[in-house]
Structure 1
Amino acid sequence: MDFAILGPLLVRANGHAIPITAPRQRALLAALLLQANQVVSVERLIDQLWGNAPPASARVTLHNHVRRLRRVLRDCPAETRSQLPAVQAQPIVTQTPGYVLQTEPEALDLSRFETLLATARSRASEEPEQALDLFDQAIALWRGAPLADVQAPGLREIVPALEEQRLSAIEERIQVRLDIGRYAAAISELRLLVSEHPWRERLRGQLMHALHAAGRIVEAQAAYQDFRQRVAADLGIEPSANLQQLHGRILTGEPPDGPRRGDRNRAVARLRRLPIPAELPMDSAAFTGRAEQARLLAAELGRTHAQHVGLTAVHGPAGTGKSTLAVHVAHELATLFPDGQLYVDLRGTEANHAPQRPLDVLNRWIGALDPRPSRMFADRYEAAAYFRSLVAGRRLLVVLDNANDVDQVRPLIPARSPTAVVITSRQSMCTLDTVRMRLDRLDEGEAIELLIRLVGKERAVGAPSTAGRIVACCGYLPLAIRAAAARLAARPDESLDDLAEQLADERHRLDVLHQDDLDLRSRLRASYEQLRKQPGGQAAARLFRLLGAVGPAAFDLPDVAELAGVPVAQAARLLGLLRDAELVQRRPDGRCCLPVLVRLFARDL
């Protein structure tokens, strides 16, 4: 049984088309095919089919659609069904926590496209003619807009990423043509592509390159001026440095690749042989809320320019989901960074582990990017310099998670590269030239939604007020809510009411909210210990303990000075240290307070 999604959805069995007429069944099949041979949870399928407005009976309706879709695939023509192996005759299998569509890679056009594309890329530098043939085969699999006849809210977001893969493949095929001197064929194709995608800078540069190399200098300059006028008028910006440099070579009569084309081609060939890392950890299937923050972060990371490293820092208190947000958005944008994704947990917010040394991270990344070095670097500055050279010109996505401070982060940032870097930290990284985004607790609706997604709608049905009490006891922090849900998962005989009753006891609430590696207390202790190591930190830590002992009331600067027995000016400095450590929160009325779980931690101290 063959499936095709690079165009209208198509199912064939031994050459016979199997019509899938029901719109919701088509959407369900498309969602399973996009993650073929992977378990897709029921919750994710509901999100993809109905978006933010699922019906109350979504789970039952989904099960009915699965049953009907299985029947359609099972009841294909008899002459076809008799020739199919059992696993192909019914490819949809139930597997906790959802369903998996089992199929061979060659039976799905998207898998064949990706395989052909990977092989073409590997041969582009050494066997360009074979690479062109493979690129042609891969691109020929596209029959139009992907999933053109499938309507589902959660799948619309995936289509642009698929289209991006096709356009990237076309650009790479054109580049091979340019590298071997087939300018005429490239020009005719590029004229059409540039008219269809006028903002795509790489296509514009390839057209300028082809016209220049073919001796059509005036047309090459006109192509640049047209693009320059477009971006200046509509966006108020100039073309990238790469495009400006190419235009400069056109004006001075240099070859399109610059004066050392042979050296450049060897460098390009070397880059194409290097590994492509894919180090991102698993995305959270229950990612909830943060829609606006995710949109803003994606927009910042997507603004990376050819010669400019884009830095974005996500900061905020412990347990607010900074890492979850960064990893989720990184997965969403991974296809925009074809040279790979690097990830490291810098362990700057762990009480039981020392922060990772930049040198150790650099040595590991250098090994992942270029396995040829025969030695490990002993000097951090040498390693950082080699890393910057290695990634220059590569379009990478780098996630520096749980950073301790700026000194730990700075050596890990590329210098001159179309790379996007996202940093998560308790600190705002204010001395870096970075876009800063602060995360705080979820609002009540988002917090309840997260809890329900984690524990399951069946278990939470009829208990909205109890869910509200639970998330309030969790301080609306994603980490605490996940720990609470994990406790329920470990104790299936307990109800939400049981959990709410346990959390109501403030003396043991932090113990209840400790499940395996989901432990808010350890994250808070890391912030506290880091505070104590700073100049003036011991006095600030003493003030923190005192504030925990006086209860949940808000306080102002005179209150702090009286409590600590110090002058107001010194109290202001101590309070500033606590705010920098994200242990004290400033309210809209100007007074300060300890968030509920932070106060319980301080009281325990």
Structure 2
Amino acid sequence: MGLSFEILGRVRVHRDGQAQRVPAGRPAALLVTLLVNAGVAVPVDRLCAELWGRCPPASALANLRSHASQLRHLLDSPGHAARLPAEHGGYLLRVERGELDAAEFERLATEGHAARVGGEPELAATLLGRALALWSSTDPAPAYGPATSAAFDRLRERRAAARETYAACRLDLGDPGTPALLSMLRDHVTEHPLREPAWALLMTALHRAGDQAGAVQTYQAACRALDGELGVAPGPELTELYRQVRRHAPRPAVPPRRRVAPYPRERVDARARSDAGDRPADQRVPHELPCPTAPFVGRHAELARLRAALGDARRQPVTVAVFGMAGTGKSALALRAAAEALDAFPDGQLHLDLGGSVAGTPPPPLQVATRVLRALRPGRDEPEPSGIAEARARVRSLLFDRRVLLVLDNATDAVQVDGLLPVRGGCALLVTSRTPVTSGDARALRLDALPAADALALLRATAGDRPVDDEPEAASAVVSLCERLPLALRTASRRLTEGPHWSLSRLARLLRDERYRLAETGLGPRLGASYRRLGSAAPIFRRLGRAHPGPVTAELAAALTGAAPEDAARALDRLVAAQLVEPAGPGRFHIGDLVRLYAAELAADEAGVDRNGQTGAGASWR
């Protein structure tokens, strides 16, 4: 019996080449969910959440069993092992090699990228062309649960990278701008208007085809797209290509990519396989990025900016910093951008949590540099560096002329992350922090709360469609009371998973009570990390907890604390730098309700100390 599954377009199942009827609705959604997790037992509660949201009906389990039974009739065959057994409290779908189009796409794309890096553009174009041919003309239907939708988002990102590498290989091989290549690239920039490499490839192909006017118009379209969505101008690569076109250069070069010594054809497969087992321990490529465990919603413009910034590492090492107040989702954004950029950093991806999101002692710079050394040279018995200067010098030597991505999460100050990048190569340093910790020519991105629509979409992704659809006003209230912060929304919505006695209306009532709001959003411990680094501004911050909601001025802060107005103004500047208050006009500042509630708790604890000579009850858990 031969089965094959198609999910890169319409969902189809074939047995021995004959199309089978796939049950519509939730049985098909269950099939796709199991296929994107092929070979792994998916727990029943997760399947229910994917099919019915966070609050499935009482009949969900019975319905799930019925859907699984329908799929067994479709997939099983007498005399063969069961395809869909119940295992470990869930269901596992067994899929053999070559049966699932998405898995074949991943395999061919990986081998194609490896062939490109190995200096074999002809083989790479063949492999990537086969990978892209597996996608039908329509995208996968979006009506799946959040985890399955996220899996399709990753597949679409991989397809985008495969298209660009395929086009670059074709141009490397002398493609004169054939109609097929131009058509593919036009469709690609329409679908991904913020990817500068895509615009550069289309400009190159048009100029190769003798259409100089079309290449110029393409550059102008790229300018409009980037300015309209991001408010930025094209990068130097696209601008230089435009100058070449205007100078009537006969054949502009393919947009620059890393060149390495070619590998023999028989080694391409080895390059595409996992490094574990095929290399000595000290030559293994590190892949340390963690798998995301929470839904990710929105941030399209921010992702595009990070993608463009990381893409510039093709020319020289770059540093990118994402900063903002606690709970805005900086780590999730950075890891998402890093995952999308995997193919651009074939020599490894490192991930270090520097501890700046919670109170505690952050690792010193020497420990950070030594940790990077261990990741780059695992299993090496080498003497410890004598100091931070030697450790950083060793890191730079190992990274020189390589393409490695370093994600340093939750940094506390610039000293932790300075001096790690070499003078040449394709490395990138992606840093997240509460305050900007980099300087010089680093790209900085301040992350704010989610827009209202995206915040509601995140609540829908975590709580499920049904609660939001049943109680839209309560859902909007929860979004507002959580101040559109991803951490607060995810934490508060966990109440809805405790049982049917919880609803969005009840959650909204709980959040409106200021005695419980901070604890329900989980923001207190995160704000504590920022508070402990305020220094002399800490007393004024505590007193702001006693202020009524509304704008704060230096005069008000001085009146609350008895400080001189100039000292109060300097303290407010420090609070702005710590992302605890925001400027709201000349001399005026805004403090969010959740931050104000945290300051009020600190003030209550301080009052307890003043009265009793010991720490108040509220301070013991922080």
Deviation at 1:124, TM superposition (A): 11
Find the aligned partners of 1:284 and 1:526 in 2 and give their Cα distance: 23
Find the aligned partners of 2:78 and 2:546 in 1 and give their Cα distance: 75
Q: For 2:560, give the aligned amino acid.
A: L
Matched, 1:521 2:517: no
Matched, 1:104 2:101: no
Deviation at 1:9, TM superposition (A): 6.4
Q: What is the 5 A alignment of 1:326-405?
A: 326-351=334-359, 353-371=360-378, 373-375=380-382, 376-405=384-413
Find the aligned partners of 2:284 and 2:423 in 1 and give their Cα distance: 20
Q: For 1:522, give the aligned amino acid.
A: P
Q: For 1:86, give the aligned amino acid.
A: A
Q: For 2:159, give the aligned amino acid.
A: E
1:7-61: CA deviation from partner (whole Å, max 9, x where unpaired): 98663334544365979988876665444345476666799xxxxxxxxx99999
SS in 2 for 1:422: strand
Q: What is the 5 A alignment of 1:168-179?
A: none
Identity of aligned residues (%): 31
Cα contact 1:320–1:440 (8 A) shared by 2: yes
SS in 1 for 2:5: strand
Deviation at 1:551, TM superposition (A): 3.2
Which residue of 2 is the match for residue 36 of structure 1? 38
Change (3 A) 1:285 1:31: same
SS in 2 for 1:411: coil
Deviation at 1:146, TM superposition (A): 1.3
Find the aligned partners of 1:603 and 1:280 in 2 and give their Cα distance: 38
Mind listing any 5+ residue stretches in structure 1 that lack a counterpart? 48-56, 179-185, 209-221, 244-260, 514-518, 533-537
Cα contact 1:301–1:312 (8 A) shared by 2: yes
Matched, 1:603 2:600: yes
**Alignment counterpart, residue 282 of structure 1, candidates 286, 291, 311:** 291
Which residue of 1 is the match for residue 321 of structure 2? 313
Deviation at 1:362, TM superposition (A): 3.2
Cα contact 2:9–2:139 (8 A) shared by 1: no
Of the structure 1 ranges 32-41 and 399-408, higher mean CA displacement relative to structure 2 is found in 32-41
Change (3 A) 1:280 1:147: farther
SS in 2 for 1:2: strand
**Alignment counterpart, residue 308 of structure 2, candidates 295, 300, 303:** 300
Matched, 1:234 2:243: no
Cα contact 1:9–1:149 (8 A) shared by 2: no
Which residue of 2 is the match for residue 542 of structure 1? 539
1:525-551: CA deviation from partner (whole Å, max 9, x where unpaired): 21111111xxxxx2x211112221233
Cα contact 1:36–1:102 (8 A) shared by 2: yes
SS in 1 for 2:319: strand
1:83-139: CA deviation from partner (whole Å, max 9, x where unpaired): 54221xx5899977xx7644134433543565577689999999x99x998x79955
Deviation at 1:511, TM superposition (A): 3.6
Find the aligned partners of 1:594 and 1:162 in 2 and give their Cα distance: 41
1:456-507: CA deviation from partner (whole Å, max 9, x where unpaired): 3445564344344444443433222222223443566444444444434424
Deviation at 1:237, TM superposition (A): 6.8
1:348-370: CA deviation from partner (whole Å, max 9, x where unpaired): 2321x311233333333333334
User: Aligned Cα RMSD in Å?
Assistant: 5.4
Q: What is the 5 A alignment of 1:256-267?
A: none
Of the structure 1 ranges 138-147 and 38-47, higher mean CA displacement relative to structure 2 is found in 38-47
SS in 2 for 1:530: coil
Find the aligned partners of 1:13 and 1:443 in 2 and give their Cα distance: 46
Find the aligned partners of 2:115 and 2:356 in 1 and give their Cα distance: 42
SS in 2 for 1:427: coil
Change (3 A) 1:565 1:393: same
Deviation at 1:509, TM superposition (A): 3.6
Matched, 1:478 2:478: no
Deviation at 1:75, TM superposition (A): 4.3
Which residue of 2 is the match for residue 74 of structure 1? 73
Change (3 A) 1:58 1:542: same
Find the aligned partners of 2:413 and 2:515 in 1 and give their Cα distance: 33
Q: For 2:539, give the aligned amino acid.
A: R
Deviation at 1:159, TM superposition (A): 5.9
Deviation at 1:382, TM superposition (A): 2.8
Of the structure 1 ranges 114-123 and 307-316, higher mean CA displacement relative to structure 2 is found in 114-123
Q: For 1:557, give the aligned amino acid.
A: A
Which residue of 2 is the match for residue 12 of structure 1? 14
1:168-214: CA deviation from partner (whole Å, max 9, x where unpaired): 88699999xx9xxxxxxx66899999877699989x99xx9xxxxxx
Change (3 A) 1:124 1:435: closer
- Kindly tell me the number of residue pairs found equivalent between the two proteins: 538
Deviation at 1:158, TM superposition (A): 5.3
1:418-465: CA deviation from partner (whole Å, max 9, x where unpaired): 344432211134624233222233355544443343233445564344
Matched, 1:163 2:166: no
Cα contact 2:552–2:591 (8 A) shared by 1: no
1:555-584: CA deviation from partner (whole Å, max 9, x where unpaired): 223223333334433332121112111222
Which residue of 2 is the match for residue 503 of structure 1? 511
Deviation at 1:404, TM superposition (A): 0.6
**Alignment counterpart, residue 419 of structure 2, candidates 411, 415, 436:** 411
TM-score of the superposition, structure 1-length normalised?
0.69
Find the aligned partners of 2:484 and 2:134 in 1 and give their Cα distance: 41
Find the aligned partners of 1:58 and 1:173 in 2 and give their Cα distance: 51
Deviation at 1:386, TM superposition (A): 2.9
Q: For 1:146, give the aligned amino acid.
A: W
Q: For 1:282, give the aligned amino acid.
A: C
Change (3 A) 1:417 1:4: farther
Matched, 1:579 2:576: yes
SS in 1 for 2:493: helix
Find the aligned partners of 1:94 and 1:360 in 2 and give their Cα distance: 41
SS in 1 for 2:13: strand
Matched, 1:455 2:480: no
Deviation at 1:296, TM superposition (A): 3.7
Q: For 1:559, give the aligned amino acid.
A: L
Cα contact 2:111–2:127 (8 A) shared by 1: no
1:199-243: CA deviation from partner (whole Å, max 9, x where unpaired): 9989x99xx9xxxxxxxxxxxxx989999x958983777659999
1:365-400: CA deviation from partner (whole Å, max 9, x where unpaired): 333334363224443333323333333444444322
Q: For 2:99, give the aligned amino acid.
A: A
Q: For 2:288, give the aligned amino acid.
A: E
Deviation at 1:595, TM superposition (A): 1.4
Q: For 1:74, give the aligned amino acid.
A: H
Find the aligned partners of 2:439 and 2:35 in 1 and give their Cα distance: 46
Find the aligned partners of 1:10 and 1:507 in 2 and give their Cα distance: 53
Cα contact 1:9–1:148 (8 A) shared by 2: no
Matched, 1:148 2:137: yes
Find the aligned partners of 1:125 and 1:442 in 2 and give their Cα distance: 38
Find the aligned partners of 2:543 and 2:448 in 1 and give their Cα distance: 24
SS in 1 for 2:410: strand
Cα contact 1:312–1:436 (8 A) shared by 2: yes
Which residue of 1 is the match for residue 588 of structure 2? 591
SS in 2 for 1:344: strand
TM-score of the superposition, structure 2-length normalised?
0.67
Deviation at 1:410, TM superposition (A): 1.8
